[in-house]
Amino acid sequence: MNPNSELYQKWLKHFGEETQMRMAQEECGELIAAISHFIRGKKGACDLLQEIADVEILIEQLRIIFSDHAINKEKNFKLNRMQGYLDALEAKKK
């Protein structure tokens, strides 16, 4: 369990799930822009780190909304697929 779960729960109760989903959209957009600016040298790592933190906070709220278990199931499926892809690439090198 996330040590901040209680805070996230209170925040969701106060602002509502839809509002926080919209905030997640907005923060993901800001992260995309921050990554682009960082790659082009227009902004520093500090700006990028702030946006990563914002997105991670909202992802934790999305985990509450949509079930940690269901998200972990999907994540594990995708991680296994990634591992299979890497295994196939390594086998080609041999």
| pLDDT digits 0-9 by tens, 22-58 | 999 999 999 999 999 999 999 999 999 999 999 999 9
Q: What is the pLDDT of residue 2?
A: 85
Handedness of CA 30, 80, 72, 2 (dihedral sign): negative
Residue with more model confidence, 65 or 2:
65
Domain locations in the chain? Answer: 5-67
pTM flag (> 0.85) = yes
- pLDDT, mean of residues 58-83: 97
* Whether the predicted pLDDT of 1 surpasses 90: no
Q: What is the pLDDT of residue 16?
A: 98
